[in-house]
Amino acid sequence: MTGSIPTKSSADGWRGVVDETFTPDFAALVTRCVVRALALTRPTRTVLVTYDGRRGGEACAAAVAAAASEMGGVQVRLVPHLPTPIASAALRQGQADVAFLVTASHNPARYNGIKVKVAPGRSLPAAVERHVEQMLAEPAPVAVSHLTRLPAPEPSAGWVNDHVACLLTELPGSVGGRRSVVVDGVGGIAGQPMAELCRRLGWQVRLLGGTPDPEFGGLVPDPTWAGTRRRAESMVRDVGADLAIVLDGDGDRIFVIDERGRCVQPHELLALLLDAHGPARRSDRADDVAVTVSTGMAVHKVARRQGRGVHETPIGFKFLSPLLAEGKAAAAGGSVGDLAFAEHGIDRDPFVAVALLADHLNTTGGSLGDLVDALRDEVGRPRWFEFRVAGTGDGQLLHEAGLRALDGVGLADPGLAVTELDGVKFRFHDDQWMLLRRSTTEAGVRVYGELSPGPRNDRLIAQLTASVGEFLAP
């Protein structure tokens, strides 16, 4: 098996090219290895299997269901087109012990993959993940065979309705705003379920990309891409909607757009929701916030005002979820539209985010644009950026590249602080920062950062990125 394993995902599982490195046989192999690894630490009685609309997804899900059934004593529930956050919620509610989700999430259409979640709704524990990787790398891995009898597929509508009903019970103040919203599912599987939540909130919905499409309408199913958000931004202005919601392929990333067509950055959304979901001061859980190293400073500043601590983790929600599960944080988020609140679950969930935002809008009585302006006035309107450059390098090389770039534009001041939690992060005056991190999902190095507002920002960012790229060029 060594040499043929697909690219390892940085989030919750394994990913490869459809019909090349990701096949039904490989999906079945991963399933058997995961179930075997989990058996050493926890019982697996009920397995939830789902898939999105990508090419080959149904065949791979059938292989997963068959492989899980072969393990003996396991009940398999096959639910097509179930968004990842709703599968995680089902694990939290005890409807299954483990979920296998055949999806490549936010990646382009040529990819497919498999995510694995375990109760109470989190990624595989690190030790289990390492064990699975070891089994997959063995010269003679676990044998794969396929049963012909599979469980009858269950419609996803009931699972969606249960999740929506649970949210509205937990957040009754979210209902009744009578707003209009554009929802763009980008051809993934979460558009219709999100539209259903919005209707139940009392909102008028215009749905784009609500039917699962293997090609995602030619878009990359990732709302972090400006081109993916563009049609929602245009429509919200054209029809005079109050906001827009853009999701990724399996529904666990969210970007929101205000009534003026402006993109609200994920760290801004989390900061707004921290205000809506103020410190609970509960004895069983810290009120701290957990963020990844690439998350903007708006979260830090709002948390500081509220008296909350902030924990930084490596990039990936699998590093945030344990802090929520262990009661060390009440809220968590990253820079790609991934956020969660422990009171409503320990996995990223855009449905929770929208319900909390609706509650906040109803409480304040203002528009989303007004809330964003007030937040930006408070935190200083920094310019957040992310780019990828060619090249690679260890921590020392990234450190040298960053120092050289900052020195070249006059930002390497005496108070410069450097951390290496995930890549190399430079912090300098006025809460400005830059992070260099080798990408785990594609070739190259990611350059993230925030600069104070000013007319030279675009030029400074271009100079920083060019300098890093030149230094690391292969």
Predicted confidence at residue 181, as pLDDT, reads 98
**Could you tell me where in the chain the CATH 3.40.120.10 domains are found?**
13-155, 159-264, 267-348
* Separation of alpha carbons 451 and 266, rounded Å: 17
Contact 220, 110 (CB under 8 A): no
Contacts with 376 (C-beta within 8 Å, 6 or more apart), sequence order? 268
Q: What's the CATH code, domain 159-264?
A: 3.40.120.10
- Backbone dihedral angles phi then psi of residue 58, each to the nearest 5 degrees: -65, -45
Distances (CA, A) of 302 to 228, 263, 269: 29, 19, 11
Contact 441, 453 (CB under 8 A): no
Contact 336, 224 (CB under 8 A): yes
pLDDT along the chain (474 residues), means of 10: 46 87 93 92 91 96 92 88 98 96 96 95 91 85 59 94 96 90 98 97 97 97 97 98 98 98 97 84 76 97 94 94 95 96 96 96 95 95 92 90 94 90 94 92 89 88 94 88
Predicted confidence at residue 2, as pLDDT, reads 39
- What three-state secondary structure class fits 435? strand
- Backbone dihedral angles phi then psi of residue 118, each to the nearest 5 degrees: -125, 155
Topology given in CATH for the domain delimited by 383-472: TATA-Binding Protein (3.30.310)
Contacts with 387 (C-beta within 8 Å, 6 or more apart), sequence order? 446, 447, 461, 465
- What residue has token string 């900052």? 406
- What residue has token string 């929600």? 317
Predicted confidence at residue 470, as pLDDT, reads 94
Predicted confidence at residue 285, as pLDDT, reads 65
* Separation of alpha carbons 426 and 435, rounded Å: 6
Structure tokens at 429: 């005056």
Identify which of 407, 474, 384, 406 has the alpha carbon closest to the alpha carbon of residue 438. 474
Class of domain 13-155: alpha beta
Contact 444, 392 (CB under 8 A): yes
Predicted confidence at residue 138, as pLDDT, reads 83
Contact 29, 136 (CB under 8 A): yes
111-118 and 98-102: which strand pairing?
Answer: antiparallel
Predicted confidence at residue 142, as pLDDT, reads 58
Q: What's the CATH code, domain 267-348?
A: 3.40.120.10
- Measured from the Cβ of residue 368, the count of other Cβ atoms closer than 10 Å reads 24
Contact 259, 242 (CB under 8 A): yes
Cα distance between the two ends of the chain: 30
Q: Max alpha carbon distance in the chain (Å)? A: 68
* Separation of alpha carbons 261 and 10, rounded Å: 31
Q: What own/partner pairs with CB < 8 Å and gap ≥ 24 does 431-435 have?
A: 431/297, 431/300, 431/301, 431/380, 431/382, 432/382, 433/297, 434/402, 434/405, 434/406, 434/464, 435/293, 435/294
Predicted confidence at residue 1, as pLDDT, reads 42
